[in-house]
């Protein structure tokens, strides 16, 4: 091969690649437009949820409400939504997709200050968590239909287990709030104090993990409970 033919071929290869869209080359056959749209929709839902939780966090921090434990809880939920949206956006790009941001309307949720009623906003918060879980399941469904196993694995690993627990935690919090609201008094103060002590984490959250059964059994085994007593 002459020197000039070799460099001609090299120039042609450079031109061929320069004319190509490398994202197309990165994308696998299973990463279809339907899959990409489903990811974008979930990103948008996470941002909408972030905005709603952020609003609730701000409301609870107002002097007129001063429920800083609840504010921390909602700030934590907002941060998780934001992180999940950023994660999925990065994943979309990693797979050869393009980010197309959707509209994020102003949230309609609020923590009412007269009366200081936790039921409505917590009901809204439970609804938001459930929407996120259902949409993550829908995303998994779209991935499965398109044989997009890599995405399915990511959604199952990062979203489904975590969101299932968030729904249960928020459901419990709604029940607690309804219980203490039957009699006006110190109930809300104490519930907020518990949330403040854990920096906004659900204080009983560990009991909502299926793995807590294993921990309980391990603890029982360590203490010797459940073993027959020899007399």
Return residues touching Fe ion (CB under 5 A). Answer: 129, 166
Q: How far is the CB of 104 from Fe ion (least distance, A)?
A: 17
Q: Give the residue closest to Fe ion by C-beta.
A: 166
CB neighbours of residue 108 within 10 Å: 8
8 C-beta neighbours (distance < 10 Å), count: 11
Smallest distance from Fe ion to CB 204, Å: 17
CB of 165 to Fe ion, least distance (A): 8
Closer CB to Fe ion, residue 91 or residue 127?
Answer: 127
Give min distance, CB of 133 to Fe ion, in A: 8
- Name which of 54 and 166 has its Cβ closer to Fe ion: 166
Say if residue 79 is exposed, middle or buried (CB neighbours under 10 Å; 0-12, 13-18, 19+): middle
Report the length, in residues, of the chain: 231
Q: Which is nearer to Fe ion, 82 or 91 (CB)?
A: 82
Tell me if residue 193 falls in helix, strand or coil: helix
For residues 53 and 128, the answer to whether their CB atoms sit within 8 Å is yes
Identity of the residue, 73 or 146, whose beta carbon is nearer to Fe ion in the bound complex:
73
């Amino acid at each position: 091969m002459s020197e000039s033919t070799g460099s001609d071929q090299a120039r042609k290869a450079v031109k061929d690649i320069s004319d190509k869209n490398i994202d197309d080359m990165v994308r696998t056959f299973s990463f279809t437009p339907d899959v990409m749209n489903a990811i974008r929709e979930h990103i948008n839902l996470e941002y909408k949820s972030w905005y709603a939780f952020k609003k609730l966090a701000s409301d609870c921090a107002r002097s007129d409400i001063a429920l800083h434990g609840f504010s921390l809880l909602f700030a934590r939920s907002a941060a998780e939504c934001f992180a999940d949206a950023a994660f999925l956006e990065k994943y979309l790009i990693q797979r050869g997709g393009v980010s197309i941001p959707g509209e994020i309307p102003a949230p309609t949720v609020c923590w009412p200050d007269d009366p200081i009623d936790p039921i409505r906003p917590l009901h809204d918060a439970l609804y938001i968590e459930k929407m996120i879980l259902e949409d993550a399941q829908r995303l998994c469904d779209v991935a499965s239909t398109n044989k997009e196993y890599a995405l399915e694995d990511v959604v199952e690993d990062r979203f489904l287990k975590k969101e299932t627990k968030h729904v249960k935690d928020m459901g419990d919090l709604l029940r607690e709030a309804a219980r203490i609201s039957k009699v006006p008094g110190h109930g809300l103060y104490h519930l907020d104090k518990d949330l403040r002590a854990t920096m906004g984490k659900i204080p009983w959250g560990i009991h909502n993990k299926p793995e807590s059964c294993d921990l309980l059994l391990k603890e029982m085994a360590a203490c010797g409970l459940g073993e027959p007593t020899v007399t």
